[in-house]
Amino acid sequence: MKIHEQPLVLILAGGVGSRLNTLVHTRAKPAVPFGGIYRIIDFSLSNVMNSGMTHVGVLTQYKPLSLMHHLGTGEPWDFTGRTRGIKILPPRTGSLDSDWYKGTADAVRQNIDFIKSHPSKEVIILSGDHIYRMDIDDMLHFHHRKKADITIAMMVVPKEDIHQFGTGITDKDGRIIEWEEKPKVPRTNLASMGIYVFDTEYLLNLLEEDRKEADFGMHLIPKAIARDDVFAYPFHDYWRDVGTIQSYWQANMDLLNEDSGIAPESWGIRPNVDSSNTGFADFPPARFLPGCKCRKSMISAGCIIEGEVYNSVLAPGVRVGKGAIVRDSILLHNVVVGEQSRVDLAVIDKRCHISAESIVGYGDDKSTVNADFPTHLYTGITLIGKNSHIPGGYTIGRNCIVNTGASIDDFPENELKSGETVHTSENNF
C-alpha cells in the first residue's frame, strides 16, 4: 500500500463543552460561532489548509448536526479533489452514552481503520475548539529534526491557569522528562496545547498495547515519556482555549484590541459562508442610520444600526433599534435589540429578540454568581440562549442565564435578579 507523503490529520471535535452552557445546548463546542462570521473549528481547519495538509478526519460525537452541516464537503478549506479530502468520523459503537468516546485516545483508537486506510508516516492530532494560528508544517519539521516518537505543542501559561492543562518539564534539548496532567500544585508553567505529532506506526502500537487506556494526557503520554522520545514544540503566538463563557467573551473582545495578537483575516482563517441557515453570505452591507454611534466594534454584513454600539462584536443580521445601547457584548446572528433597550456585558445567541425598553445586564453587582451554575457565570456576563424573547420593559441583572427558546411567559414578574436563571422546557441543564 502506498504511503502518503502528507501526514494524516485528525481533529478532535466531539467534546461536550458544558461550561459554555446554553451556547452548546443545540450544537457541539467546535460549531459555536465566533468573531461574527466564523465558527471555532474554522481556526483548526484553516491552520491545516494553510500548512498544506490535505487528508483530514474530524472526530465528532456530541450534538454533531450543525458541525457536520458546517463542514460539508470541506470545499471552503480546499479539502475537495482527487488527492485531498475531509471525512466526518462519528463513534463506531452503540447509541448509549457508555458507548461513546471515553477520551482522546479512545476516540483515535476507534478510528484505527481510518488511519490504516490513509497510510502516512505521521499522524497529527489537533483539537477543534481552540482559537489560534499555527504553522503545523513547521511543527512537523521539528518532529523530524528531533527524530521524535511524539511531539507535543506546548506554551507558557500563567501559573494560576496551569491546573487546566497537562504540563511538562523538559531538559535542555526540549525532551519532556516529566509530565503531570492538570496538577493542583504545578511545578512548571509549560502547558500542553493538545496538539500532537505521532509517528504512525508508533501511535498504532501505543493504542494497541492497552485498550483500556482512554486518554492521551492522562494515560498514554506519561507512559511514552517514561520510555521513548517525546519532545515539546515551543509555541509563542496567540492561543486561547475558549472552553468557558469568560474565555469565549475575552477572545471575542481580543478581536477589538489590535495589540492582542489575534487577527483572523491576516491569518487566512476561512469561514464557511454558505453553511449557516441564516444565509449570511447573501446579506447586504451593514447600514448605519442617521444618529447612530459605533466605537471599537466589529459590525458584520446585514446589520442595521440605529442606536449605539460600543466595544462589541455583532454577527450578521443584527439590528440595534433607535435609542438602544449595546456595550461590551457579543450578539450572534439575527439578534434584534429593540428601541431604547440596553445590553451590557452579555452574550446573546442567534435569533433572540430583546423587546423595547428592556435591560440585559443591569446594575453594578457583578459578584453575585449564577446560583445554578456558579462556575459558569461569575464575572458579570449574562447569557441569553438561542431563540429567546425578552419581554418589553424587562430588567435582567448580572450573571443571569436565559435558557434556549425562552418565551415571554417563562420570565418571572418584573425582573430577573442577578444570578438567577430562566428555565424552559427546551433546555437540558
Average pLDDT of span 350-375: 96
Give tens-digit pLDDT for 287-317: 999 999 999 999 999 999 999 999 999 999 9
Residue-level pLDDT at 315:
96
Provide the pLDDT confidence category of residue 428 given band limits of 50, 70 and 90. Answer: very low
Provide the pLDDT confidence category of residue 62 given band limits of 50, 70 and 90. Answer: confident
Residue-level pLDDT at 215:
82
Average pLDDT of span 216-232: 91
Average predicted confidence (pLDDT) for the chain? 91
Please give the C-alpha separations between residue 72 and each of 14, 85, 89, 176, in angstroms, as whole numbers.
17, 11, 13, 38
More confident residue, 255 or 28: 255
Please give the C-alpha separations between residue 382 and each of 173, 249, 332, 350, 358, in angstroms, as whole numbers.
47, 11, 14, 15, 14
Mind listing the domains of the chain with CATH numbers?
8-254 (3.90.550.10), 276-422 (2.160.10.10)
Q: Are strands 313-314 and 298-299 parallel, antiparallel or unpaired?
A: parallel
Checking if the pLDDT of 178 tops 60, the result is yes
